[in-house]
Each structure stands twice: as structure tokens, then as C-alpha cells.
Amino acid sequence: MIAVHGHAGERVAILGLGRSGLSAARALRAGGAVPVLWDDNPDARARAEAEGFETADPTRAGALEAVTMMVVSPGIPHLYPAPNPAIAAAMEAGVPVDNDIGLFFRALGQGAWDSLDTPPKVVAVTGSNGKSTTSALIHHVLEEAGRPAQLAGNIGRGVLDIDAPGEAGVVVLELSSYQTELARALTPDIAVFTNLTPDHLDRHGGQGGYFAAKRRLFAEGGPDRAVVGVDEAEGRFLANQLATASADDRVIRVSAGRKLSGPGWQVFARKGFLTEWRKGRQVGSIDLRQVRGLPGAHNHQNACAAYAACRALGLGPRQIEAGFHSFEGLPHRSQIVAEAGGVTYVNDSKATNVDSALKALQAFDKVRWICGGLMKEGGLGGLEPGFGHVEKAYVIGREAAAFSLELKGVEAEVCTTMAQAVARAVAEAQPGETVLLAPSAASFDQYDNFEKRGEDFVAQVKAALGRD
């Protein structure tokens, strides 16, 4: 645990008692603060009280009078589409609102590192797609290279649950827009921007607000090095704002679709090959086609971003390549779960939006595509470039019939349930094809989260193949 100091004796409100809320409460208590916790779920309050925490509803009259700060869990809206009543009450009362990420960066700055030869570093990864894989890949490569590293934030452990990093330690954080938007302190050593596609627009008041939330990590964080995906206009804009000249190698530009040129520092992938250029010459390359845990162009973008971050941390190209080859991928993200009869079964349940599902489709040649769920804003038109890879779609979800009508020019069968979709896909798949779960939709019509949906897919595949 990383104790949060500077609030000894103060009452600090904690709103939301999931992983981040409880870890923040423990860290504040370890630093001498008096956390006062609240969650609308009575079971969550009961668990907090069992740990000896005080609970109190911050919306009640007078509840915030002695409170000096409110720490908010990322899933609770603080501005759009409307502020949570407790957060609105805090803002009305002039109580500063923060989150566990802000507490982490402030607490980390209090570390006694003067005696260390190599102080710890923080790598923070944000973006619409690929940030989990990129974060996990950086962490994996560091560990394989013998560097002490911890993975936290929006993946793995709560950020305040990790151990205080020591000599040459690296903390790799995956940060969502919900986390970067509200954190009052953001000071990573290396910041990574993977890409930007429309998502969470209701929480940020539109695409501009969404980009602004991501941009805070760079504009206010002031990282020593910025790794920026430049395949979208927002990434090119961000890289341009951060660099003081074309040769400014504090910005490492990354692309998964085109060769980058110029006197600066670039890492790009084309036709399955990753290439690093610096100061006008090639200094490294990796053949990604044989890296089993990173299939498809979208994972090649993740590989480029992770490679750039690891190079910025001082690792050599061959160290990074070795780490890539031993990386097995993350569950629910282009995860190969079975191979039988020449057919590959891939779980990409995390492909919850059009852009990530498109990239999943384009990673394979002949796809039996399981898709569907709660459609997000904008429809499915953006998937059309990937339809040429689809042999047939098997649509799940309560809105399966309406979803299938959006798949123009694709043979689609309304299956509704995962069990039926998998059974039909397994029965019809031919050698050389891929049965792919890439829903392009949220899971909440049938599952608690995308993980549960992916787990169901894996279970149904095993059952259909007789591997229970």
C-alpha cells in the first residue's frame, strides 16, 4: 500500500466503494486521515463498516461541513450527463473533488528517493483502444528484462494498493478518460496516447470533451517523454502541440499503418514489421508476424506504443523483442482460446465499440463473427471496411434482430444467446476460418460486464468442442 499523507486528522469523503474507493480509504487512513465512506449499495457500505470505516451520506444536510476533500470512484459522473448529487453537493460546498489517481501522484512525490541511485518512474497509458494490452505488454517486457515493475490503475490492482516503488522500479498505469479528467495531479515520466475513437461521449459532453480528458495527461502532466499514436487527427494535433521542433525527440510518434519520416523519433509498423527511426536513420526492427500474442494491425499499434515506451526507459530492441515473443496476450482481447479442425477460436469481448471490432475483423481473413449487444451511438456503419473478412455473422443480444439489420451486405443469423451463436458457428466453420467474438457493443443487456461475456464465449466453445 502507498499511504497518502498530508491529511492527518482531516475528514475525507470517499464516494463509491469499489476497488479504487476502498483502496483510497485504506491509504488515507494509513496516512492519518479520517475517511468517511458512502456507496448507494448497502452491501458495499456493510463491507466498509466491517473494516472499521465510518459511513455517511454526503447529500444529507451538514454532512460536508467538516470535510476537506472528496475522493470519487471513476464510474460516477461528475459533470456530464449530470453530476452525481453527492458530487454536486461537494462542489456547491467548495469541497475539492479528486480521485485515487490524483492521490497516487501526490503521494508518490512524497517518497524518500534521495538515497536511490535510479529513482522510480511512472508510465501512464491512455487512449480509446489498446491501452490495456499496451500497459500489460510494457509491464511484461520490463519484467522479462529484469526490471522491477508493477501494473495498476484501470487494470490489475488499485493504484494505491501497490507497493511503494524502489530502486529503478517502474509503475505502469492504464488510465481511462474518467480517471485523467478528474485527477488533480498527473505527473508521469512517460505518457502514452494510443488512439482516439468515439466512446463515452455522454460522459464527456461529446468528442471534444473526450479528447480534452485524454489530453490532460500530457498538457498538465508534463511528461519527460510522450509516445503518441498519430493515425488519427487528434494524435497528430497532440504530437504537434507537445513538440517544439520537428527533431524534438521528447515526442515519439507511433503509427500502425504508414511509414513515418522526419528527423525526430518514430516507431511504426507496416506489413507486420515494426521499425524504429531516430535522427533520420533506422535503429531497430522486429518482425511482428510471428508474435503469437499480438495478432492483427491493432495489436501491432499496441506493440509500437509499448516498444517506444520501453525504449524511452532504456531497454534495447532485442530485449523488447524477446519480451514480445513470450507475451501471451490478455483475456478477452484477441485471446486465442481454442484451435480444432483447422479453425481458430478468438475471444475479443473487449471489442465493445465499432473501431475495436473493426480492427479485430481486419486481423483475420475468414471470420465467423459473433457480435451484438447494446449498440453505442453512431450505429455500425464504421464496420463496413471489415465486412469483406466476414463469412457470416451470428448476432446475440436482446436487440439482435435490429443489430443484424445494420450489417449491410453481410449474411447474418439472429441467434440471441451466446450458446446458440457458438453452436451455429462451430457447426458451420471450415478449416482456415476463425470464429471471432468481437461484439462491437456493450454487454449490459445480457452480462454484468465484457469479462462475463467473454467467459461465456470460452465456456460455450469448450462445450461445443467437447472440452468441458
> How far apart, in whole angstroms, are the C-alpha atoms of residue 463 and residue 182?
44
**In whole angstroms, how far apart are CA 122 and each of 31, 168, 339, 445?**
22, 11, 38, 37
> Could you check whether the bond before residue 317 is cis, i.e. omega within 30 degrees of 0?
no
DSSP for 189-215 reads SEEEE----S-SHHHHTSHHHHHHHHH
Q: Known binder of ligand: residue 285?
A: no
> How far apart, in whole angstroms, are the C-alpha atoms of residue 55 and residue 57?
7
Please name the residues in contact with 34: beta carbons below 8 A apart, sequence gap of 6 or more. 9, 10, 11, 12, 54
Q: Known binder of ligand: residue 240?
A: no
Q: Known binder of ligand: residue 177?
A: no
Q: In what order do the strands lie in the sheet with 54-55?
A: 54-55, 34-38, 11-15, 67-72, 97-98
φ and ψ at 170, to 5 degrees?
-130, 130
Q: Known binder of ligand: residue 115?
A: no
Question: Pairing mode, if any, of strands 335-340 and 343-347?
Answer: antiparallel
Strand partners, 255: 268
- Is residue 377 packed enough to be buried (19+ CB in 10 Å), middle (13-18) or exposed (0-12)? exposed
Strand partners, 395: 371, 414
DSSP for 36-66 reads EEE-S-HHHHHHHHHTT-EE--TTSTTTTTT
Q: Known binder of ligand: residue 130?
A: yes
Q: Known binder of ligand: residue 132?
A: yes
**In whole angstroms, how far apart are CA 232 and each of 133, 195, 235, 423?**
19, 7, 5, 38
Q: Known binder of ligand: residue 52?
A: no
Cell numbers describing residue 186: 498527473
Rg (CA), the chain: 23
Could you list the residues known to form a binding site, using ranges: 127-133
Could you list the residues known to form a binding site for ATP, using ranges: 127-133
